[in-house]
Chain A
Amino acid sequence: MCLGIPGRIVAVTDEHRMMALAEVSGVRREVNVACILEGPIEDLLGEWALIHVGFAMARIDADEAAKTLQALQDLGEAQEAAEAMAEGAKALEGQG
């Protein structure tokens, strides 16, 4: 539960609520970027961050992201995170 998974910020979805679209292990979902915001939200586009339960918690570089993803794939955590995101989407539709 306490592991973060690397995701890449690919779009800003709601500047006011500090929300952006992140690609996490092949899955795209909206995440909150308040904790990593240091300037204009657009500056985050293309950046990597550790994503934890829908929140970007720390900026990381691309090399660190690749290493962490590999480690998490070995641990089975990357797949688990992708499944949890899909489960979250189902919950919103009342199917979870």
Chain B
Amino acid sequence: MKYATEFRDPKAARAVLARIAGLADQIGATKARPVHIMEICGGHTHAIFRYGLDKLVHEGIEFIHGPGCPVCVLPMSRVDECVEIARRPGVIFTTFGDAMRVPGTKMSLMQAKAAGADIRMVYSPLDALELARRNPERKVVFFGLGFETTTPSTALSIQQAAREGLENFSVFCNHITVPEPIRALLDDPHMVLDGFVGPGHVSMVIGIHPYDFIARDYGKPIVVAGFEPLDLLQSVLMVLIQIRDGRAEVENQYARVVPEHGNPVSLAAIDDVYEKRPSFEWRGLGEIDRSGLRIRAKYRAYDAEETFGIGYAAGPRVVAEPEGCACGQVMTGRIKPTGCAQFGSGCTPEMPLGALMVSSEGACAAYWQYGGARISEAVE
């Protein structure tokens, strides 16, 4: 009963699981020839393993864990640049706690902090703004990181800094977008993807239409999902129904939170503050066109890349991944985490080699933590 008790309505879960199994049989999905469903969001990856959903669903359903954990796809060069900024005189470098342990080529932010850099974990960019107000003689830099869920918070903070005329606040912008890496994966001839579970909270900001191309241009179903186990199971069911019916549409299972056209205030702030970079490097996926955001020229004073002459402002720097690290292959579904030679030996959550082991939303960390869940424990 270990996992079954964690459903608030085990009967409903069993009913959905039974319908998933029935549909999987109907469309001929088997362990040898599975239907590949990619969950894009790292929060979904975490939930799938936490609740053992990968073990509970019909064996003909295979989850592919997409590139939806922003910490996991952060290239080492950007971590190096964070450390470089943090070590400049007079800087207070602020970051979400998730990013502290991501390895750079020489050190992580946690190691840089131990070595004397003034690096502070904040909950919100608003905390970084407050630090700037309280420390006018220091330069406070916020590490802007994340997909569209997090992007508006940094934008609104930059707008607030501009309104106040705060001159000692800036953002090292590493915000990235969901649709472009999905397009890149769909264009990869080695990828086999039959459908998608779309990110719930990213979609709360951008709505469901940015995914139209997945259905229209690639003929794949996508269902935007919430984060409860039943949300995820229902979304898998909705994907399978589309496959059975020969449809490819964008559907919204999480309509109680996700408006069709997103959040207008957030979208206006994003549009005001950022523009697309020509390309941005993703750990494990390489450079992807128009997949990252930079701060518009009118807010240049708040752009740490400009004020510190670093990052893309100084020219792109691509850094090779550590030898033996297979994060890229895991993220593109070519191998499972356990197929990486470093998994559990050279790479563990305590001593991560690759980024997918750093965050609880990374596929490797989730495998490490919950990989032992068996169907017998889950449904008995």
Contacts and interface: CB of A to CB of B under 8 A. Distances in A.
A25 to B, nearest CB: 12
B124 to A, nearest CB: 3
A31 B269 CA distance: 17
B185 to A, nearest CB: 18
B98 A1 contact: yes
Contacts of A64: 256-257
Interface in B28-61: 41-43, 46-47, 50-51
Given A70-B8, A87-B122, A35 B149 contact: no
Contacts of B359: 1
B126 A54 contact: yes
Contact of A4 (B50, B94, B156, B201): B201
A88 B124 contact: yes
Contacts of B122: 87-88, 91, 96
A4 B47 CA distance: 14
Contacts of A32: 126, 153, 156
B21 to A, nearest CB: 24
A39 to B, nearest CB: 13
Given A3-B227, A74-B50, A57 B43 contact: no
B257 A35 contact: no
Nearest to A60: B257
Interface string A27-54: 0011110111100000000000010111
B204 interface: yes
Contacts, number: 138
A64 B43 CA distance: 18
Nearest to B256: A64
A9 to B, nearest CB: 16
Given A88-B124, A96-B121, A71 B227 contact: yes
A73 B125 CA distance: 24
Contacts of A11: none
Interface of A: 1-4, 17, 29-32, 34-37, 50, 52-55, 57-58, 60-61, 64, 67-68, 70-72, 74-76, 81, 84-85, 87-89, 91-92, 94, 96
Given A61-B256, A81-B123, 11 more contacts: A2-B202, A3-B201, A3-B227, A35-B263, A53-B150, A72-B227, A84-B121, A88-B124, A91-B120, A94-B120, A96-B122
User: Closest 9 A-B residue pairs measured CB to CB?
Assistant: A54-B124, A88-B123, A91-B120, A96-B120, A88-B127, A2-B149, A71-B228, A84-B123, A35-B265
15 contacts: A2-B41, A3-B43, A17-B160, A29-B123, A32-B153, A35-B263, A50-B204, A52-B149, A53-B125, A54-B123, A54-B125, A57-B149, A57-B266, A71-B227, A87-B121
Interface of B: 6, 8, 41-43, 46-47, 50-51, 68-71, 94, 96-98, 120-127, 130-131, 134, 145-147, 149-150, 152-153, 156, 160, 199, 201-202, 204-205, 227-229, 256-257, 259, 263, 265-266, 269, 359-361
